[in-house]
Amino acid sequence: MTLSTTATAEHIYATGLRNQWHPVVPSDFVAPGAMRKVTALGEQWLLFRRSDGALSMLADRCPHRGAPLSLGKHLGDRVACWYHGVEVETDGTVSSVPGLPGCNLEGKKLVTSLPVREAAGAILAYFGDEAHPEPAELTLPDPLTDPEVEPILCYAEWNVPWRYAMENLLDPMHGAFLHHESHTMYDGDTTAKFRIRETHRGYFFEKTDQRGVNFDWVELCRTGIDWVDLTIPYPPSAGPGGAFGIVGAACPVDAERTGVFFWRYRRVQGWQRDTWRFLYKTLIEKRHWEVLEQDRVMLEAMPADADQGENLYQHDLGVVRLRRLYRAQAESQSAAADG
């Protein structure tokens, strides 16, 4: 059974919120005609792509004896379990039980199949629990769908709880310290006052006294998928187009691991777009990577109980707000089972 409604609030808080969309892996991790095993929200899944590109996501568990379907055979439009040959269609229906044709498993939808979408080079899936199998309305991050904007995805896997990865994004002040020796975040004051500003889709956490100098604001957006938007100035060497933005999102893999998605984007067209992409591929991507590695090294070194016994100050309002929101949602998703 996957994503049970009987999961405790602690389990949900540790392994990822349900009844919403999450990014899973980059699209090109699953070639046409291929399968890939992935872990997400603490469960095992099988990504299955037909040769025409159509993608599906199944619980990685044969409904017969529980063997991983990911060890099975790709049959074009079905997967056959290696253990006893049970065939499962992309919507989770058992189409054939070769050992006992006509047995009552055939024709039944016995494997969880998650709704999937692909956007800006990533696979997104809706992780509903048993009481909420129908996908929540999804509004994709606008920088990823705006034709005037050019996004480039960077994906990485970190040994950190998903919440720490999100909290890091709701903590702009770390930019002036952790990333001080970087090509983009060297500037700006190292003291600041922040405020929270509500939006129709989440909230801004922003400096009251500085804009456009460093990592000065971040918006948490909850649009069926949780993502953050932020911008960071580029030095003049990056050419025309001004600051670059980041759409950040996270896949809760399990209680200790996270897949992080960072789309670097810029409002550029024509030769400016082409030139930025050329510089990005040749020189800038590596510099961005080094900045991201600073985050990974710091977050992976945080003790497991880092969010216990802290002494927070004004800069942590964005983090506190995020934790309350996620904690409350984990509790309500767990309490829903009791109701």
Partner 1 sequence: MTTAPWPYLDTHQSRTHEPTPYEHKLAATLEEVFTKDGHELADVIRGLNSRQVHAPDGAPWTEESFRAEMHRLGA
Q: Which residues bind partner 1 (CB under 8 A)?
A: 29-31, 34-38, 70-71, 152-159, 235-240, 257, 270-271, 273-283, 285-286, 289, 296
3-state secondary structure at position 278: helix
Q: Single out the residue of 168, 157, 132 nearest to residue 17, CA to CA.
A: 132
Q: Closer to partner 1 at the Cβ: 72 or 172?
A: 72
3-state secondary structure at position 150: strand
Say if CB 55 and CB 48 are below 8 A apart.
yes
Report the nearest approach of partner 1 to the CB of residue 224 (Å). 26
Burial 156-181 (b: 16+ CB within 10 A, else e): eebebbbbbbbbbbbbbbbbbebbee
Report the nearest approach of partner 1 to the CB of residue 20 (Å). 24
Burial of 131 (0-12, 13-18, 19+ CB in 10 A): middle
Say if CB 72 and CB 54 are below 8 A apart.
no
Report the nearest approach of partner 1 to the CB of residue 333 (Å). 27
What type of residue sits at position 325?
L
Report the nearest approach of partner 1 to the CB of residue 271 (Å). 5
Q: Closer to partner 1 at the Cβ: 250 or 319?
A: 250
Report the nearest approach of partner 1 to the CB of residue 53 (Å). 16
Q: Closer to partner 1 at the Cβ: 36 or 201?
A: 36
Q: Closer to partner 1 at the Cβ: 163 or 288?
A: 288
Q: Closer to partner 1 at the Cβ: 201 or 296?
A: 296
Burial 225-260 (b: 16+ CB within 10 A, else e): bbbbbbbbbbeeebbebeebbbbbbbbbbbbebbbb
Q: Closer to partner 1 at the Cβ: 84 or 222?
A: 84
Report the nearest approach of partner 1 to the CB of residue 254 (Å). 11
Q: Single out the residue of 29, 13, 284 nearest to residue 156, CA to CA.
A: 29
Q: 78 CB contacts (<8 Å, ≥6 apart)?
A: 87, 88, 89, 90, 95, 96
Phi, psi of 206 (to 5 degrees): -145, 155
Report the nearest approach of partner 1 to the CB of residue 91 (Å). 20
Q: Closer to partner 1 at the Cβ: 215 or 280?
A: 280
Q: What share of the chain is helix, strand, coil (3-state, %, to 5)?
A: 25, 30, 40
Q: Closer to partner 1 at the Cβ: 29 or 204?
A: 29
Report the nearest approach of partner 1 to the CB of residue 194 (Å). 31
